[in-house]
Homo-oligomer: A and B are copies of this chain.
Amino acid sequence: MARAIPTIPRKSASQERSRATVEALLDATARVLTRVGYDRASTNRIAVTAGVSVGSLYQYFPNKEALVAALVARHNREILQLVRDALEEVASLDLPTAVRAMVAAALDAHLVDPTLHRIFAEQVPRMGQLAEIEALERETFQLVRTYLEKRRREISTKDLDAATSILVTTVEALTHQFVINKPDAHGDRDRFIDEVTRLLVGYLMPRRTAKRVK
């Protein structure tokens, strides 16, 4: 019998080419988006920037929105990974420390590509309906909720869903606003994290302070 031919599942040449094209298109979309904004980002321009023909663009994305949505999804996936890692690291720590770490992680997440993030926030029409994006939001929710569940006893609020929702929304909003308004406030970073942490910890475990005082 002949020597076993290595057939480890390898992407066929064409599959790799496809993948490369898709990546090039997403990169180009990001570049064009940051350079000229959403409205002036045409599919033709994106294709040219990607070094690919418009036809190829439409081979992989049915329309402009889908293209941008895919980019958003990719971006969100990266961010989600940061959040996931952060939560994993703090899984065993006490709540205040964990919250602080999470806020820091959220801030880092917002700084992955701030320009792009800003574009997404300010210009890209919300396509909440897009399944993938919603899924990512739901996963973030779940990750946080799961963590809170483990710490349930330390938390005063009984409605975990509400607490999670408030947590996620608040962190997102404050982080976002901080990054938008102080793009280079390196010094303020820690103070900002302190404040937000205080806000959230005070919400989740108000008794703590009380008991101590007693």
Please give the residue numbers on chain A whose beta carbons come within 8 Å of chain B beta carbons, in ascending order.
37-39, 121-123, 125-126, 128, 157, 159, 162-163, 165-166, 169-170, 172-174, 177, 191-192, 195-196, 198-199, 202-203, 206-207, 209-214
Report whether A203 and B206 are in contact in the complex, using a CB–CB cutoff of 8 Å.
no
Instruction: Select one of B126, B172, B192 contacting A122, CB under 8 A.
Output: B126
Copies in the complex: 4
Q: Which residues from chain B contact A37 at a C-beta distance below 8 Å?
A: 125
Report whether A199 and B203 are in contact in the complex, using a CB–CB cutoff of 8 Å.
yes
Report whether A199 and B166 are in contact in the complex, using a CB–CB cutoff of 8 Å.
yes
CB distance from A70 to the nearest CB of B (A): 19
CA distance A159 to B188 in the complex (A): 12
Q: Which residues from chain B contact A170 at a C-beta distance below 8 Å?
A: 170, 173-174, 199
Report whether A195 and B162 are in contact in the complex, using a CB–CB cutoff of 8 Å.
yes
Report whether B206 and A202 are in contact in the complex, using a CB–CB cutoff of 8 Å.
yes
CA distance A38 to B123 in the complex (A): 11
The 8 closest A-B pairs by CB, nearest first: A173-B173, A122-B126, A202-B202, A210-B213, A199-B203, A209-B210, A169-B177, A123-B125
Instruction: Select one of B38, B177, B198, B214 contacting A125, CB under 8 A.
Output: B38
In the complex, given contacts A170-B170, A203-B203, A214-B214, what are 4 additional A-B residue pairs having Cβ atoms less than 8 angstroms apart? A37-B125, A157-B195, A166-B174, A170-B173
Q: Which residues from chain B contact A166 at a C-beta distance below 8 Å?
A: 174, 195-196, 199
Which residue on B lies nearest to A173, using beta carbons? B173
